[in-house]
Chain A
Amino acid sequence: MYKYFNNIFVAISSILKGMSITWRHMINIRKGNVTLQYPEERWPRPERDIGFDLDSYNVIRSRLHVDIDDCIGCLKCERVCPVQCIKIVTTKAETKGEDLPDIGHTGITSNGTKKALIVSRFDIDMSECCYCNLCVYPCPEECIYMTGGPNSHKHPIDYEFSQYDRNDLIYKFAKDVDDEKISKYVSKKIK
């Protein structure tokens, strides 16, 4: 008999205890809310420092970006890419280091290198990219890099680049010019 009534007492008291817990959580929802309403608000991004040497090695695995005016078309990034997601087409220019304003070609990079090649296509398929950052190291002009992090002064961070169409994930960095226009400036030797 004692067990029977004790059982009822335990049931009632534990129900009240549990219900008071849920009530407290419901009342304090403004303080206790853990949901982040993503497009409107984001968690703060932690500072990136996973490198071996914090000063020199500090990258963020975000979107790849190319400053096409600095690109000399050396194809080093295309060759090093383990998944072949970079496609570059270049043609030899007639004169080295000359600005060609009507096809948007800059003759001299920001490092002072005279460009010998016209980059007519520079596509990076970000749906294939494995974010290994390997293309960044060989670049002699430091024109291909991950956005944000240590490069945020060159390009703001962009890690949310979802698209409705997969083709929109192919980023075309070369100036959008007709091949005929470019062919005017192509070196005569090749022709």
Chain B
Amino acid sequence: MTARYVARRLAQVLPAVVGVLLIGFLLIQLAPGDPILALAGESGDAEYYEFMRQKFGLDRPLPDQLWAYFSNVIRGDLGVSYVHGRSVAAVIGERLPATVLLTSAALVLSSIVGIGLGIYGGLRYRHPDDLLLNVTALSFYAAPVFWVGQLALLTLALGLGWFPVQGMTTAGASFTGFAAVRDVAAHLALPALVLAAQEIAAVTRLTRVGLINELASDHVRTARGKGLAERIVIVRHGLRRTLLPVVTVIGGRIGHLVSGAVVVELVFGWPGLGRLLVGAMQNRDTPILLGMFLLVATSVIIANLLTDLVYGWLDPRIRLR
């Protein structure tokens, strides 16, 4: 990969980060009433308000405020959540691992299952199997994630009893070592599957269409004409280019998955950012919400950067453009 491509791609990150920070700042300024309410939440604590006013320079001109906001946020300092009595970073950091676990499980699951099903459908183009797969994928693609969760909870957990109903661990049990891991994995399975469902549908459709187009293309016909084994034609000539677009969408899927995770967490009582977020909405604990917004936005920017670099490494044509 050329250094120039990496440098150019890295240079695109800065305007994106600045843009996200600007939007955060703009929303605080535009919010009705004193911006301190947006920055510090509605605790009504005059002493704390005065501290935050100083910290974010609210008594100074607008450019100074912007500078204060940028330098505070970039250091990860978003003030204190008045509900939790601790720094926003600490409160979010405490809940983050559960959400990251759920999101990454769904990301891995959707990539593997989605690509697998997409290949299966693509190779059976116009078969009844393919049609059934396509209809199922379309339905899951259109179903709201909380509804898939509620239906899965009703049928698979409450009805058939295959999965635990709520939470991340068995209440009251104190497992250690491998038993603890297995307990979490058992609780994780259904929420992860539900969260992954829509992404599985998206990846399946993308892989399937890509493979169908690729198998109909000239270079695949040439490979077949040369008398190569069908398996080699598919793996070396068909799949290779099919999987490239699947890689590029991973960055975008992360933002989507985190939004979905928050909702799925509420359905399954998963102790991540979801419940924190609902509590913050009820208490108007705005620093927490602004913190989550900035965190997810920067995660998406970084994920996009990484996928683009991987893409540039996989597909030389991208680097040269």
Q: Does B associate with A?
A: no
Q: Report which A residues bind B (CB closer than 8 A).
A: none
